Amino acid sequence: MKPLLPGVEIEPSSPANAAVIWLHGLGANGHDFEPVVPELKLPTTLPVRFIFPHAPQLPVTINGGFMMPAWYDILEMELDRKVDLTQLRHSALQIQQLIDREIERGIDSRRIVVAGFSQGGAVGFEAALSYPKPLAGLLALSTYFATADSIDIHPANRQLPVQIFHGNSDDVVPEQLGRKSVTFLRKQGFTPGYQTFPMGHSVCLGEIQAISGWLQQVLA
């Protein structure tokens, strides 16, 4: 087995009975969403372990080939994102290894959420929907479904709760890509939640509160 991705882990005050694996966006790292955890104000009756993995350093074509934390290479700045699907799927497999580890630690797969922002969300779609055991949910933030045309959705996650949040003035990942993900999922028989916020390519307090409510719902 290949070594697991490094990352940041935040343990609850009592032994965890659920886990959230949360992927950052291009050029960031696992510390990016660390400050969100206390802002979620989850009840002490819901002890959740948060795992924020660090993406590897990769050369990114749209940024002149500079090395930066990236889940996969982005080849063109076109709307539907010409991306390196081989790298994306490799990253998804690495996230699935983190899911496997949580199960080995005693967390039921149905109490594990995969979350991702922007590029991390594209990996999240692939990792969660192709995983061979049922998960608790998928949280997709300001992102796009890069592998919609090729994903092999596993029967175990055909009923997976999916929540998509997007900024309605996002100039990095246009909101229409969020709506496109919803359309694809509905055609596949999913019933994704979709909500927009008055923001760009970021997060806001209202969104954090909505994430908290959704997590409490799927992990109830």
- Residue 1 is assigned to a structural domain of this protein: no
pLDDT for residue 79: 53
- Residue 183 is assigned to a structural domain of this protein: yes
pLDDT for residue 81: 65
Q: Check which CATH number belongs to the domain holding 198 and give it.
A: 3.40.50.1820
pLDDT for residue 76: 84
- Residue 45 is assigned to a structural domain of this protein: yes
By residue range, what is the domain housing residue 77? Answer: 7-218
pLDDT for residue 77: 76
Other C-beta atoms closer than 10 Å to the C-beta of 46 total 18
- Residue 180 is assigned to a structural domain of this protein: yes
Mean pLDDT by 10 residues, the chain (220 residues): 90 97 97 97 97 97 93 81 91 98 98 98 98 98 96 98 98 95 98 98 97 97
Number of domains in the chain: 1
Helix-helix angle 85-104:119-129, to 10 degrees: 60
- Residue 201 is assigned to a structural domain of this protein: yes
- Residue 174 is assigned to a structural domain of this protein: yes
Of the chain, the end-to-end C-alpha distance in Å amounts to 33
- Residues acting as catalytic residues: 118, 170, 201
Q: Is the Cβ–Cβ distance between 54 and 30 less than 8 Å?
A: yes
With residue 138 as reference, give the H or E element that holds it.
Answer: strand 137-141
- Residue 130 is assigned to a structural domain of this protein: yes
- Residue 53 is assigned to a structural domain of this protein: yes
Size (the chain), residues: 220
